Amino acid sequence: MQLIMLGAPGAGKGTQAKKIAEKYNIPHISTGDIFRANIKNGTELGKKAKTYMDQGLLVPDELVVDLVADRLQQEDAKAGYVLDGFPRTIPQAESLDAALAKMGTKIDYAIDVEVPDENIINRMSGRRACVKCGATYHLEYAKPKADGVCDMCGESLILRDDDQPETVKKRLGVYHDQTQPLIDYYSGQNVLKEVDGTKDMNEVFADIVAILGE
C-alpha cells in the first residue's frame, strides 16, 4: 500500500498519516525525517543535502527524490508507506513516479484531506504553544486547564508567528499555487481520493479506512 497524503497546512494530514501508519503497520515518511536521518548517519546523500541546508538554500528536487527513493527501498517500507509532505510540486511528482517505475512499483492512492481556507485560518489561530516546554494546545479543541498557562510546566502560552492569521494566509497562498496542481495530477492518474477534513479527526480516519480497506 503506497500512499501520499495531500492537504493544506493545518488540514490535519500529518495526524491522519500517523494513524494510517499505526493501523496498517507501515512507515510514516516525511522529508524532514529523511533529511535528519541521513545527516545524522553521515550518508553521502545526507552530506549533499547538508551543504544546501547550511547555506539556507532549498535542497534541489533531484536530490530530494534520491533521498526519498532511497528511504522507500528500506526493509520496513517493503509492505508500503505513507508519504507526508512530499511531493509538493508537479516536477517532484513526475520524478517520484519515474523513480518508483524503476523499482517496479507506483502510488496506489493520493489522499487529499479537504478543508476550506477559512476553517484552517480559524483552526491555526486557535493554537497556543508553551514558551518553555513546547506543549501545544487549542482554544477550542484542547484547552489548557487555566487560560494562557501550560498544564505541564506552568509557563505562558503564546500564539506562534507561524499560526498568525496573516502568516497562515501566505502559507495557504503558496500551497494553492504549488501543491494544488498535484490534485489534478493524481486525479488524472485515477488514484486521487478526497476526504472531508472538517469532520471530527476519528470520522476523517474512518473515511480513509473505508477507502483503503480494513
User: CA dist 155 to 114, 147, 196, Å?
Assistant: 35, 11, 36
Domain for residue 61, yes or no? yes
Query: Hey, which residues does 109 pair with through a beta bridge?
Result: 3
Domain for residue 197, yes or no? yes
In this prediction, residues 51-59 reach a mean pLDDT of 87
Domain for residue 44, yes or no? yes
Q: How many domains does the chain have?
A: 1
**Model pLDDT, residue 165:** 92
Domain for residue 137, yes or no? no
Alpha-carbon gap, residue 103 to 94, rounded angstroms: 14
Catalytic residues: 13, 88, 127, 160, 171
Domain that holds residue 51: 2-114+176-212
Question: Is the backbone peptide bond immediately before 87 cis, with ω within 30 degrees of 0?
Answer: yes
Three-state secondary-structure class, residue 142? strand
Q: pLDDT tens digits for 90-147?
A: 999 999 999 999 999 999 999 999 999 999 998 899 999 999 998 999 998 889 999 9
- Entry pTM: 0.83
Question: Is-contact 29 83, C-beta < 8 A?
Answer: yes
| Lookup: cell for 151 | 498544564
Considering only 54-58, 63-67, 93-97, which range has the smallest mean pLDDT?
Answer: 54-58
Three-state secondary-structure class, residue 149? strand
**Model pLDDT, residue 179:** 84
**Model pLDDT, residue 136:** 92
In this prediction, residues 63-76 reach a mean pLDDT of 93
- By C-alpha distance, which of 155, 129, 161 is closest to 142? 129
**Model pLDDT, residue 20:** 97
**Model pLDDT, residue 10:** 87
**Model pLDDT, residue 80:** 96
Task: Output DSSP code: residue 179.
Answer: T
Domain for residue 58, yes or no? yes
Work out the mean pLDDT of the chain and round it to a whole number.
93
Domain for residue 157, yes or no? no
**Model pLDDT, residue 162:** 85
Question: Is-contact 8 172, C-beta < 8 A?
Answer: yes
- Counting residues of the chain whose pLDDT is more than 90, the rounded percentage is 81
- By C-alpha distance, which of 179, 189, 201, 126 is closest to 157? 126
Alpha-carbon gap, residue 76 to 73, rounded angstroms: 8
Which residue matches cell numbers 545526507?
A: 46
In this prediction, residues 8-33 reach a mean pLDDT of 93
**Model pLDDT, residue 51:** 92
Instruction: Output the domain CATH number for residue 10.
Output: 3.40.50.300
**Model pLDDT, residue 111:** 97
In this prediction, residues 55-60 reach a mean pLDDT of 86
Domain for residue 128, yes or no? no
**pLDDT higher than threshold 90 for residue 178:** no
Domain for residue 85, yes or no? yes
